[in-house]
Amino acid sequence: MKLKEKLLNLEGALINNDFVTQLEKMYSTTLPEEVKRVVSLSDKTISYDDFSLLRGLSHAEIRDASADMAVDFISQGILPVFDVGDNDYIVYDTKEQTWSKYNIVDEIKFSKTQDLTEYL
């Protein structure tokens, strides 16, 4: 599967309302349509043909990220969506409404953008 193609055709992606509602309750926010569609791409982990290290997180990995990675994503308001290797993740910052990269070892956000495709 090619990620760029998926992201360019997000309007046609179905939203998993049950999963999105669960995330919105956890994060006490309303996610924008783009984010809802991105997190709904698959309920399983996805690897992409055009990016060897990039991996889309499964619904369980997104939902359980704080416990599994020992990082309080929820209180920071950052939603992990993609694993990009070397302990770095592409996250959606619910407070700033931007996409960022986040390192789980150093627990720092670096780089931010309004357009997810800038990271690809």
CATH number, domain of 15, equals: 3.40.1580
Cα–Cα dist 9/89, whole Å: 22
Instruction: Quote the pTM value.
Output: 0.90
- Higher-pLDDT residue of 37 and 41 is 37
The predicted pLDDT at position 119 comes to 82
Neighbours of 80 (CB within 10 A): 21
The domain of 101 spans 3-119
Number of compact structural domains in the chain: 1
Token pair of 26 as six digits: 């956890």
The tens digit of pLDDT for each residue in 99-119 reads: 999 999 999 999 999 998 888
Categorize the per-residue pLDDT at 2 as very low, low, confident or very high, splitting at 50, 70 and 90.
Answer: low
